[in-house]
Chain A
Amino acid sequence: MELPRLQPLYENYKDQGFNVVVVDGKRQTEKAVAFIEKHGLTYTALENGEGDAEVVEGVFGVQSFPTSFLIDREGRVMYSHLGFDAGDEEHIAEEIESLL
C-alpha cells in the first residue's frame, strides 16, 4: 500500500525537476500492473531483469522492500529509506526540498 504515497510527492515537485522511478523487485508483472492501474500511479514503473539483467539485489543489494534512494541532481545517493509509514511523506518532502 506504500507506493500510492509517492504519487502526491511526484505531482507536487515534478515541475521543479523531481522524478520518481519505481522498480518491481520480484517481477510480479500482473499484480504490479493491476496495482499501478488501480491507484492511478503516473510515474515511471520498471520491472527488475532476470539473470545477468537482474539489478535490484545484484547491483543495489536490496533484499527488503520497500527500499528507496533519494538521488541529487548530480546523480549521488543522498538518503536511503527502508519502508514508507504513514507520515514519512512529510519527512521525504523535506529531503526532496533540501535537494531541489
Chain B
Amino acid sequence: MKKFLIAVGLLLALGLLAGCAKEEPVEEVDPVEAAWSDFGDTYYALADEDIEAKAALMEAFVREHPDTEYAGRLAGGIAYYRGESLGDPAAAYALLNETYGTNTDPETRFELGKAMFPLALELGEPADLDAIAQDLAASRELDFGEMIDVADLAVEHEQWATGAKYAEAALAKATPEAFLADYPDDDYTPEEAAAKADRRKAMSYADLGWALHNMGETDKAMAAFEAGAPLKTVDYLGVADTSIDLYLGKVKLDAGDADGAITLLSPAAIMGSNDDAMAALREAYATVKGNDDGIDEWMWSQREALGKPIDAFTLADYEGNEHDFSALSDGKVTLLAFWFPT
C-alpha cells in the first residue's frame, strides 16, 4: 500500500510537469519564486539538528531578497535559530533590523518587527511593539489573531501597558460574528462559533488580567480573571488551554495563598511539563513546606492522582490493518503522538 501511494504521488508530480512541458508555452519563472523553491528543497534536505546550516540558509535568502514577503516568513526562524539556539542575538537583530528598514510591505514589516522585538529588548536597542503593530494597523484593521499575538508577546516580555491595550482590543474581537467573519468559507454552527468566541475571550482575559495585575490594577485584574476563568476549557489531562491558571496561580502566590497557587499550577506544571508553571509551583511548594526538598516525590504522587486511564480506540495503519491501541500498549510504556505531515 505504501509503495502504491508513493508511486501514485510520483506519477502525479511527473504528470503535472510533463503536462506543463507539452501544453504550455515555456513560462518565465519568477526568479524570486524559483529561489524560494530552491530554498525549500535545500532547507528540507538539511539534517534536523544542523541549526547553523539552517540559520545560515535563511539569512542568505533574506540578504538576497530583503524586499520580498519571504523575508517576513523567515524572520521568526532567524530570530529563533540565530538569536536563541545559537546564542547570537546581535547578528540576528542586525539582519532583521536592516531588512525592516528597507522592506516597505506593512504585512512583512509586522512579521519582521515581531521577530526583532525580543532581540531588541535583550540587546537594549529601541523596542516598541505598539509602534510595530500600529504600523500595520495604519494600512488595515488588525484581526483577532494579530491582536492576541501582540498581547501575548508584550505580556511575555513584561510590556504591561502594551499587553493590556492589545488584550482589550482582542477582547472586542472575541465575538461569534468576528470569528465567522475570519472564516467566511467554513461552515460553523452558531454553537461552534460561540464556543470559539468564548475561547478567544478566555485568551484575552488571561493576558489582560496578568498585565493589569503587574500594573498594580489589582481589582481590575481580578475582574478580568473572574470573567475569563469560567470560559476556559481543559485538555485531556485537565490542563487549561489558556494561560489563565498559570497567571492566576502566580497572583495567588504573590498574595500569600500558596495552597490556592498549588491547585491552579499543578496540572500545567506536573502533567503539562510547562516550565513557567513548574517554577511557580516550586516556589509555592517551598512556601508551604519551608523548602522544596521532597518536591519530586510529592509531584510523583500528584501525577499518580491526576493521571487518567487512556480511552480505548481502534484505528488503521497505512496498509489498512486495524490496530486496537490497548493491544499495542499492553504492559508497555507508550508514547502516543498526534501529528500531521508538513
Contacts and interface: CB of A to CB of B under 8 A. Distances in A.
Interface residues of B, number: 45
A90 interface: no
A47 B4 CA distance: 17
Contact of A65 (B313, B318, B336, B340): B340
Contacts of A31: 341
Interface in B303-317: 303-304, 307-311, 313, 315-317
Contacts of B138: none
B338 A23 contact: yes
Residue of A30, A46, A48, A60 with most partner-chain B CB within 10 A: A46
A34 B311 CA distance: 29
B15 interface: no
B338 A25 contact: yes
B230 to A, nearest CB: 18
B27 to A, nearest CB: 27
Task: Classify the interface of chain A: helix, strand, loop or mixed.
Answer: mixed
A45 B317 contact: yes
Contacts of B323: 21, 44, 46
Given A33-B6, A49-B315, A86-B85, A76 B336 contact: no
Nearest to A43: B335
Given A21-B325, A71-B310, A71-B333, A26 B340 contact: yes
Contact of B2 (A26, A28, A33, A86): A33
B81 to A, nearest CB: 10
Interface string A65-97: 111111111111111111000100001100010
A17 interface: yes
B313 A59 contact: yes
B237 A72 contact: no
A60 B337 CA distance: 11
Interface in A24-38: 24-26, 28-37
A6 B338 CA distance: 12
A80 B9 contact: no
Main secondary structure of the interface of B (DSSP, over half): mixed
Contacts of B311: 59-60
Contact of B336 (A3, A17, A68): A68
Contacts of B338: 22-23, 25, 56, 60, 62, 65-68
A73 B106 CA distance: 53
B328 A47 contact: no
Nearest to B300: A98
B333 A19 contact: yes
Given A24-B341, A60-B311, A18 B334 contact: yes
Contacts of B273: 79-81, 91
Interface string A1-25: 1111110010001000111111111
30 contacts: A19-B333, A19-B334, A20-B335, A23-B339, A24-B340, A25-B338, A28-B341, A31-B341, A33-B2, A33-B6, A36-B318, A37-B2, A47-B316, A60-B236, A61-B235, A65-B340, A66-B337, A68-B335, A70-B334, A70-B336, A71-B310, A71-B335, A76-B304, A77-B307, A77-B309, A77-B310, A80-B237, A86-B49, A86-B51, A96-B335
